[in-house]
Amino acid sequence: MESQLYSVDKVKDLINEGKVLALAGDERLLSQLPQGAWIGGTIPYFMDVDKGKFSKDMIYVNELEDAVNGVSIITYDENNIDYIVKDAYDNGYTLLIIPPFQKIHHDFALKAEDMEGLYNNPIVGWVCGMDLNSDDTPYTFNGLTGEKYADKAIAIHVELPENKFAQIEIFNIFEMDDKSPEIEFYVDSFDVVNCLIDGKETNLADYISEHKLDIKLPLVADYSGASINVSIKEVDVENGMVSFYAPVFQGKKYKFAKPIDDYVRSFEVKTLDYNSDAVFSCNCILNYLYGELENKKINKIKGPITFGEIAYQLLNQTLVSLSVDKI
C-alpha cells in the first residue's frame, strides 16, 4: 500500500482490517480513530505523493507491511526511555514519535548517543508538531490503548523475518562551510552561552550577532563522513544565549553550514537516490518552510513534515528514510 494521505474513513477501514500503521495528522482526526495496531503523532504538514501539502482533513499513512512476525507498541517517558533499545526485537526496527520541547524530547536527544546497543537495530522517527498558526498542542497517540500524550513518546517495535533487515538513510543538503571557524562546546546542551571559536572562548550569541550570520543555516558536525545538523532556534543577544532544536555535544567540532543558493534544487540533487518505496520517511519543518516546499514536488520524497527527525538520535533539517531489504 502506498504511503500517502488518506481520508479518515479509509484509515478507519485499514485499522479495522488489522493493518499495522504509523500515522500523522491533525489531533481532531487521530482522535476519531478506532483502537488497533497503530501509533500516531500530530502534524498538518506533509510531502504527499504529488506535492507538499498543508492538511487538517487527511491522515498520512505508512503501512508497516513487514510487521508480520511481531509488533509491540510501548509508551516512553523520561523514566523508561533508556529501555527503548532493550525493548526492540533482535532483528527489526523501531519507529518512535516524540512530543516537542518536553522532558522526554530533551532526555532522548541527550542520552541516545550513549545508549548501549543503540545501533543494533535502526531507530527512526520524528518529533510531532502542530499548525504553526495555531495554539494547538502536539500529541502522540497510542492506537492500542486509544490514549494520547502531550509529554510522552510512543514507539512501535517491529520484528522482521530472518531474510530481511532494515536500514536508515539520511539526506542532508547542508555541509560544513570551509570558511567557517571551528566551534567546540563545553557541555552537551540545547542552550549555549560560551563556546570555543577557533580555540578562543567566545559568547556565541555575540559572535552570531556581530558577524550577522544567517541563522537559517545550521551548525554541522562530521560523524565519520555523515554531516549532522544542529539548527538554531533562537539567538538571545540580550541574555547572551543561543538555543538549538537539538543538542550540541562536547567533544564534537562544529562549523556553520555553507549557504544554499537554491533550496529546492539542492534537495533535487541530494535526493536523486531516494527510495520511494521506503517503509517510512520524514522531512524537517525548517526545510519545508525555508525551502517553501508547499505545493512543490521534489523527486519522490514523501512523508510527514516534522519538528525534529530521529535517525538513531535527534537530527535537524534532515530528510530521514527507513527501508527494509532482503538479506
Partner 1 sequence: MIQIPSKDRKEWRDLLTGQINVPLKNFFFQMKITQAKKLVEKGKITVEDAVDEIYNLCVKFSKAKYMDVDLQNIFGNSTLVNEASVRDEKTKVQSIEKKVLIVEEKKLIDTKAQEKKERMNALRMKEEEAKQQRELDHKIKNEKAEKAAKSDKLEQIRLEAQRVIQQRYEMELAKRRLEHKPEQPINQKSSIAQNTVKSNNVENIKRMEAEKNRIQQRKKKKVVRQKKSGFGSFFKSWFN
Given the rule CB under 8 A, which residues bind partner 1?
Answer: 91, 113-114, 118-120, 122, 165, 167-170, 222-226, 251, 265, 268-269, 272-273, 311-313, 325-327
User: Min. distance of Cβ 84 from partner 1 in angstroms?
Assistant: 16
* Cβ at position 165, least distance to partner 1 in Å: 6
| Strand-by-strand arrangement of the 52-54 sheet | 52-54, 45-47, 303-306, 280-284, 319-326, 164-171
Phi-psi region of 117 (alpha: psi -120 to 50; beta: other; left: phi over 0): left
Smallest separation (angstroms) from partner 1 to the CB of 262: 8
Alpha helix stretches (DSSP H) within 49-121: 84-87, 103-111
Pick between residue 118 and residue 193 the one whose CB is nearest to partner 1: 118
CA–CA dist 265, 30 (Å, integer): 34
Amino acid identity for residue 6 in this structure? Y
Give me the helices (H) in the chain, please. 8-16, 27-30, 84-87, 103-111, 204-210, 263-270, 285-290
- Give the type of residue at 268: E
Q: Any idea which residue has 562546546 for its cell?
A: 185
Rounded Cα–Cα distance for residues 3 and 280 (Å): 8
Per-residue three-class SS string for 191-252: EECEEEECCEEEEHHHHHHHCCCCCCCCEEEEECCEEEEECEEEEECCCCEEEEEEEECCCC
Nearer to partner 1, 11 or 176 (CB): 176
What does the block give as the cell for 107? 532526555
Least separation in angstroms between residue 56's CB and partner 1 is 33
Pick 313 or 317: Cβ nearer partner 1:
313
- Give the pairing of strands 21-25 and 38-42: parallel
Q: What distance in Å separates the CA atoms of residue 260 and residue 319, rounded to the nearest whole number?
A: 16
CB 253 to partner 1: min, Å: 12
Query: Min. distance of Cβ 236 from partner 1 in angstroms?
Result: 30
**Measured between alpha carbons, how far is 174 from 318 in angstroms, rounded to an integer?**
9
Least distance to partner 1 from the beta carbon of 327, Å?
5
What would the grid cell of residue 268 be? 533535487
Closest CB 310 distance from partner 1, rounded Å: 12
**Cell reading at 134:** 495555531
- Closer of 188 and 206 to partner 1 (Cβ): 188
